[in-house]
Structure 1
Amino acid sequence: MDIDNLLQRNILGGQEYEPLFPRVSCDKTKLGNGNTFDTVRMIKEMVIKYNHQTKEVAKVLQKSSLKETCDKIYWFLYNHIQYKADGLEQNLRSPACAFRQRVSGVDCKTYSIFASCLLANMGIRHYIRQIKQPSFRPDLYTHVYVIVPLNQETGDIKDGYFIIDGTTSNNREPIYTMAHDTEVNLPHYGLNAPTAKGKRKTIATKTKTVAKESNKPLLLGIGALLGGLFLFGKSNK
């Protein structure tokens, strides 16, 4: 079975979105070797590093409800970025690189990075889910996509969730025998520092206010007189 032919689609041009992404060269950098859990860890690292690339397009795609937003992200990914399975090399593209190479195609890992970056910019809790499928190498994790919990406060997927899987034509969750979820959390920083020694403190001093006699009545009187002369002159032309 040729998975590329099975999952490829006719994509839209998408030129109107190009100004929303930074320009990148898509140069390749080796991230290391590992199993699928290492891959998911690297996906999360890519999201943390490159989510800023989707800041502008996220504003366009975010809708009033969680469902509408997830549907819109799926629509964008499925209809603007072609599918192409990776070979021996596992390629993790940044969103800007994925959009630049949208005609040649990306696979499930890059779709997941892109969706996760968008959700991160929208402040929406979500997970990267990797699954084992009974119909394809059932002993291995062979597919990855994003799930978004309905309960955004607790993040508990037992309350239900939406999926975003840019590889499929119907955005339905595949049948799986095992799943492992990794929540994507962006780093947080606290900012504080003691005053450096030797620096002088700036002390605010109260400025003295001196009352002055206003010239406004005189100026207003002159203005009114000039205005009256102007109107008088016009009325007698």
Structure 2
Amino acid sequence: MQSANRQILPGTQYDKYFAKPKGLRQIIVKSGGSVEETVALCKKVVSETLSETKKIAPVLKGESREQTAKNIWEFIVTYVQYQLDNRAEDVGAVERVRTPARTWHDRKMGADCEDYSIFISSVLTNLGIPHSFRITKYNGKTHWQHIYVVIPYESNRGSRGYITCDPVVDYRFNYEVPYSQKRDYEMPVSMSKAGLSGISSNTLCCTAGIDAAEFGEDNHLAGLPAVRLPLYPKKALSGFHASMLKAYATPKNIAIGAGAGMLFYIYFKRK
């Protein structure tokens, strides 16, 4: 796979297609968590931020699924640096998950395979192209090591009926590094904001057992007053840091729900 820094191009001509990231646009997920939870988080980020690739999606659309996938792959390889998680400033962090606009904003700094996959999935979803997140293990390792997007061809293409879109492998399009194990998670492409009623673009998602925090210079929640939550038992908030509650719990603007092992912490803009 790709390891050294790429010689990327500035890409400033595409800035007009991306809004500046605002609010909860970058999340550090810090401990535990299953691979299913990681994929669920990627899916959630895609579903809540489709507007961030709405303008760039038609620019990257090709005459076929394969050409579209190649356009997206070339776009990322050309303009978005690759950078593994767990940099020095991410002490104790496992994942740094970006929305597409944040990935573009941070393209010189770099993004990792989760960020690439979210970006690709967002474009494909806007174009109505079916696809799946694929997670993989290599060399008999016991832990999942990689995530990327696979796209079915329009028609049967033999034993390998899918297109691989993995910009981490920057030297060859539609190439899949041989794996020892894989799982696929289909991404629905009929999403719309109407299907996500009650969830705003300022939502922080955290699964049980995972600690999360948001950071970035454009954090519009900084400095807002905190509020105590006496109605909710401590168990219901396991996985959330007290510091995070101080940052995101604001008077009259809070809703907490729990279900299927997932907690949603929702901040609504003040009227």
Would the TM-score normalized by the shorter structure come out above 0.5? yes
The within-5 A match list for 1:88-167 is 88-134=93-139, 138-151=141-154, 160-167=161-168
The within-5 A match list for 1:1-237 is 6-25=3-22, 28-29=26-27, 33-87=32-86, 88-134=93-139, 138-151=141-154, 160-169=161-170, 170-171=172-173, 172-185=175-188, 186-187=190-191
SS of the residue corresponding to residue 138 of structure 1 reads coil
Tell me how far apart the structure 2 counterparts of residues 45 and 158 of structure 1 sit (CA, whole Å).
Answer: 31
Displacement of 1:7 in angstroms is 4.0
Tell me how far apart the structure 2 counterparts of residues 114 and 46 of structure 1 sit (CA, whole Å).
Answer: 10
CA-based RMSD:
2.5
1:161/1:22 Cα in 2 relative to 1: closer, same or farther (>3 Å)? same
Q: Which blocks of at least 5 consecutive residues in structure 1 are unaligned?
A: 191-237
The Cα offsets for residues 125-158 of structure 1, whole Å up to 9 and x where unpaired, read as 0000001111xx7111100000000147x9x996
Contact 1:7 1:168 in 2 (8 A): no
Tell me how far apart the structure 2 counterparts of residues 146 and 17 of structure 1 sit (CA, whole Å).
Answer: 23
SS of the residue corresponding to residue 69 of structure 1 reads helix
Letter in structure 1 aligned against 2:54: K
1:220 matched to which residue of 2?
none
The Cα offsets for residues 71-122 of structure 1, whole Å up to 9 and x where unpaired, read as 1010001111001100133011001000000000010000000000000011
Pick the structure with more helix per residue. 1
SS of the residue corresponding to residue 98 of structure 2 reads coil
SS of the residue corresponding to residue 166 of structure 1 reads coil
Contact 1:115 1:146 in 2 (8 A): yes
Contact 1:151 1:157 in 2 (8 A): no
SS of the residue corresponding to residue 120 of structure 2 reads helix
1:16/1:109 Cα in 2 relative to 1: closer, same or farther (>3 Å)? same
SS of the residue corresponding to residue 128 of structure 1 reads strand
Contact 2:125 2:191 in 1 (8 A): no
Tell me how far apart the structure 1 counterparts of residues 159 and 46 of structure 2 sit (CA, whole Å).
Answer: 25
Contact 1:150 1:159 in 2 (8 A): no
Letter in structure 1 aligned against 2:186: E
Tell me how far apart the structure 1 counterparts of residues 94 and 101 of structure 2 sit (CA, whole Å).
Answer: 20
Choose between structure 1 and 2 for higher RCO, CA contacts under 8 A separated by at least 6 residues: 2
Tell me how far apart the structure 1 counterparts of residues 79 and 166 of structure 2 sit (CA, whole Å).
Answer: 13
1:198 matched to which residue of 2?
none
The Cα offsets for residues 38-67 of structure 1, whole Å up to 9 and x where unpaired, read as 111110111101121001101111011111
Displacement of 1:35 in angstroms is 2.0
Q: How many residues align?
A: 183
Tell me how far apart the structure 1 counterparts of residues 127 and 162 of structure 2 sit (CA, whole Å).
Answer: 17
Contact 2:27 2:98 in 1 (8 A): no
For normalisation by structure 2, the TM-score amounts to: 0.62
The structure with the largest alpha-carbon Rg is 1
For normalisation by structure 1, the TM-score amounts to: 0.70
Contact 1:149 1:159 in 2 (8 A): no
